[in-house]
Structure 1
Amino acid sequence: MTEKRAQTSGRFPPIFWLSNGVELCERAAYYGTFIALSMFLTDAAGFSDVESGWIGAIFSSAIYFLPFLTGAISDRIGFRHALLLAFVLLSVGYAALGLHPGKLPVLASLALIALGGSFVKPVITGTVALTSGDSLRARAYSIFYMIVNIGSFTGKTIAKPVRTALGVGSVPLCSAVAAFVALALVFLFYRPLQASTARPRGASEVVHDLAVVLRNGRFLALILITAGFWVIQGQLYASMPKYVVRMVGEGASPEWYANVNPFVVVLLVVPITHLVRKMQPISSIAIALALIPFSALIMALSPAVGAGTTLFGYPVHPITVMMVCGIAVQGFAECFLSPRYLEYASRQAPAGQEGLYMGYAHLNVFFAWLIGFVMSGYLLDAFCPDPRTLSDADRAQRLASLAGQGLMPSAYAKAHYIWYVFCAVGVAAFASLLVYQAVVRRRETKRA
């Protein structure tokens, strides 16, 4: 009924806008905490870099895997109840994370956040689909995508002043407030939609379908290759915050640097999508994978810039300059990948199974977050260690260097090597895509 009204009137019903408002709150809560998570795990909870890398890997990858299961649960209990459950879990999880930063409580809090967050995306995207007819669906999802980026931008923008004024442990408390606002909106205004006539899928069906998809070598190869892109993109949250704060100082703004990415995407995704609309999807993906190593390389070149960098007459740290430039390249590359990846992925599915395969196309981010965060932990430990692990003399030398007096201690002399490693990951992903493209083309030629 709601879909028919939207299609007839050409306007979206109130529940569409409510759902987008809820999504904005959830994304602001998530990204506000996520950008600070790696610092929180070491500075507030006391985990080592390696431990926080593993914890971040499991948490962030679970956010992308659990929706396959929680989506089926949402279909059974209804969208309203699923959202109420989600935001109760999120409100409690974020609040507990900020109030009880001990190691075991932190793990329990992150589990609640991952579980709660996994309910939100399938329900909100399902609501967007149900409240927009075929003629409005493209516009509906473009609005939804914009809202996601606004939420991401807002959460990270707020996280910076909260971290510097109140400490990194206070950032999750702001996320708890945003999650509670979403909970109130759902409780007061979100009403059940017309029930779907489709039979809800069971967990066993979800697992079976996942096994079917992963047995398709061609599809799995595409997922793993494009995961290389997101391994580098994921360093905005895994490596970059700690790297910047340790090399520039507590007053640095990694949260705001990360906002360059959604800013560039929002600014350029429409014109770039228009530009590449007649290009083969694989060519657009190849451009993205060719660009992404350069983003990491740019970040690695900060020692070559020198300390006397100015912007509009104001002194700027060379790491700040190169980080912002590298992140801008990432956003530019994403504009080539995101619009065409799903289109190309759908073509790799066997005839008649496109819907099944597309449901698992975002497993590339699952693998990327799992691999990228683990790599980050070991690389930070090796090249840009936690200042608390340094000797007293090295800690004093670091503080003096941050104050503009002398060089950083030798433990940080090769900190930029982290980005060379991720540049190599990007090069490997691009080379793998070229091999993949050649193999696929050869097989298609033989079949023809």
Structure 2
Amino acid sequence: MMAISAYFRKFDYRLWVLAGGWVASAMGFALAIPFISLYFHSELGISLTGIGVFLGVNAVIRSLFQALGGELADRWGRYHLMVIGQLVRSGIFLLMAISVYLNLGFFAIAGLLIFNSIFGAMFQPAANSTVADLVGADLRTEAYSIVRVAGNLGWAIGPAIGGYLSEHSWVLLFIIAGGMTLISGSIIAVFLRGIKRIIKSAEKFGIADVSVLKSHLILIKFTSLIFITYLVVSQFITPFSLYAVDFMGISKTHLGYLFTINGLMVVIFQMPTTKALRKFRLTIQMALGAVIYAAGFMLVGLTATFIAFAAAMIIITTAELFVSPPALAITANLAPEGRTGRYMGIYGFAVTAGWSLGPLLGCLLLDYFKPHFINFWGIIAVLALVAAAGYYFLTKKIPAEMNIRRNSNK
């Protein structure tokens, strides 16, 4: 008991408050977003290509606002950006519920989803930067693991509920998603007031900010690999959902269970995995994770039953345990003082671009290769291996002190 208490006291209490808000936010997100493509395809009759094009447009918009969100987090402070983002998103989810109830169709719901993505993109860099503000460099990897566990606790609960609700009431699904996002914003508003804003940037955000990349070749290479990685990772939401439900015939409820496996594994194994890997360079951890991603997605292409999908999800989630905390830690470590938000925004731009453009690529390739789906999943596995090679070779480029988990409490 004393050890647990000491562990909690090791971190600023506001990190745990932020983690609580992250649970509610992730639960709201996971209730709705994994199933929205199924709603478009199964309920509204939108083609895979049409869904992919919409997701591509959404990707461009979200990525731009992700980078802007990082700059605004440095200029205006984290607190207001996080609170406004979550409160607006909760209202948008409620408007989506009304749109479904009134049968307003694809364009109304798609438009609202774009606005939801914009405010989500503004929220994320501020939240990631807050983690970096609340802990020293020696605890960052562990702190990012904590908030990932929190987010995945919400992710473990959300899809199980969302899978059931998508079989019965889409309206109720979006209402509950909005309610959980409102709870997240309220937790942050009440308990995180007064978070110190870091040193303001003297420059204004704009096209000139590309100079940040020009002067930091390592950041260019790293974020390029992040983009490729999330092209791969993003396949396990929209393309995986459509493939498993509409082509392989598993139920939406079972799909929700698969995402719950993902969330529970992160909750249970993220912290032990982070500790077990602490002696490895962060880029080596990410290279190993990318290889595991390749194996997991290749198995998806050879799979047609719920049990086999569950096995593939376990492998994919194992890869996730290796990749996500080190990626955030490297970004925070590379950032000069007063530029954490900007660097998180650039990192978030790469993540969001990959995460959002990936479904466009996935939907187009699913449409092109059907019924020979193994070709599609093989391409995804090859992309993962390209990323793995990139992380391995980047190990020699990133200074050692920025590429290790520095923890005095080993």
Pick the TM interval, shorter chain. Answer: 0.7 to 0.9
Amino acid at match of 1:85: I
Change (3 A) 1:291 1:16: closer
Count matched residues.
Answer: 384
Same amino acid, percent of matched pairs:
17
> 2:181 — aligned with what?
179
Q: How much does 1:106 deviate?
A: 1.8
Q: Does 1:229 align with 2:229?
A: yes
Q: How much does 1:324 deviate?
A: 1.5
Deviations 1:329-371 (A, max 9, x none): 1221222223434555678x69989956565334442332243
Check whether the contact 1:236–1:258 (CA below 8 A) recurs between aligned residues: no
> 2:403 — aligned with what?
none
> 1:39 — aligned with what?
38
Change (3 A) 1:75 1:282: closer
> 1:417 — aligned with what?
375
1:427 aligned to 382, 385, 393, which one? Answer: 385
Whole-angstrom distance in 2 between the partners of 1:353 and 1:81: 18
RMSD: 3.7
* Larger mean Cα displacement after TM superposition, 424-433 or 353-362: 353-362
Check whether the contact 1:93–1:112 (CA below 8 A) recurs between aligned residues: yes
Change (3 A) 1:27 1:161: same
> 2:148 — aligned with what?
145
Q: How much does 1:193 deviate?
A: 0.4
Check whether the contact 2:201–2:339 (CA below 8 A) recurs between aligned residues: no
1:330 aligned to 304, 316, 329, which one? Answer: 316
TM-score (norm 1): 0.72
> 2:347 — aligned with what?
361
Whole-angstrom distance in 1 between the partners of 2:134 and 2:362: 41
Change (3 A) 1:336 1:22: closer
Whole-angstrom distance in 1 between the partners of 2:350 and 2:72: 23
Amino acid at match of 1:269: Q
> 1:96 — aligned with what?
95
Whole-angstrom distance in 1 between the partners of 2:163 and 2:369: 25
Whole-angstrom distance in 2 between the partners of 1:220 and 1:360: 10
Matches for 1:52-91 after TM superposition, within 5 Å: 52-59=51-58, 62-63=61-62, 65-73=64-72, 81-91=80-90
Q: Look at both structures and tell me which one has the larger radius of gyration over its CA atoms.
A: 1
State the SS of the aligned residue for 2:373: coil
Whole-angstrom distance in 1 between the partners of 2:72 and 2:119: 12
Change (3 A) 1:136 1:277: closer
Whole-angstrom distance in 1 between the partners of 2:121 and 2:40: 21
Check whether the contact 2:153–2:267 (CA below 8 A) recurs between aligned residues: no
Q: How much does 1:201 deviate?
A: 6.2
Change (3 A) 1:419 1:135: closer
Deviations 1:211-254 (A, max 9, x none): 42156554323322343332222111121111111121445522
Matches for 1:43-442 after TM superposition, within 5 Å: 43-59=42-58, 62-63=61-62, 65-73=64-72, 81-101=80-100, 102-128=105-131, 141-166=144-169, 168=170, 170-185=172-187, 189-190=190-191, 192-193=193-194, 196=197, 198-199=199-200, 204-205=204-205, 207-213=207-213, 216-246=216-246, 247-250=248-251, 253-302=254-303, 318-342=304-328, 357=343, 360-384=346-370, 412=371, 414-433=372-391, 436-437=393-394
Q: How much does 1:195 deviate?
A: 5.0
Whole-angstrom distance in 1 between the partners of 2:395 and 2:136: 39
Check whether the contact 1:98–1:169 (CA below 8 A) recurs between aligned residues: yes
Q: Specify every segment of 5 or more residues in structure 1 that has no aligned partner in the other structure, as ranges.
A: 1-8, 303-317, 385-411, 442-448
* Larger mean Cα displacement after TM superposition, 104-113 or 245-254: 245-254
Amino acid at match of 1:120: F
Whole-angstrom distance in 2 between the partners of 1:197 and 1:351: 12
Amino acid at match of 2:112: S
Change (3 A) 1:267 1:91: closer
Whole-angstrom distance in 2 between the partners of 1:433 and 1:10: 31
Q: How much does 1:28 deviate?
A: 1.2
Q: Specify every segment of 5 or more residues in structure 2 that has no aligned partner in the other structure, as ranges.
A: 1-8, 399-410
TM-score (norm 2): 0.78
Q: How much does 1:432 deviate?
A: 4.8
> 2:401 — aligned with what?
none
Whole-angstrom distance in 2 between the partners of 1:100 and 1:352: 45
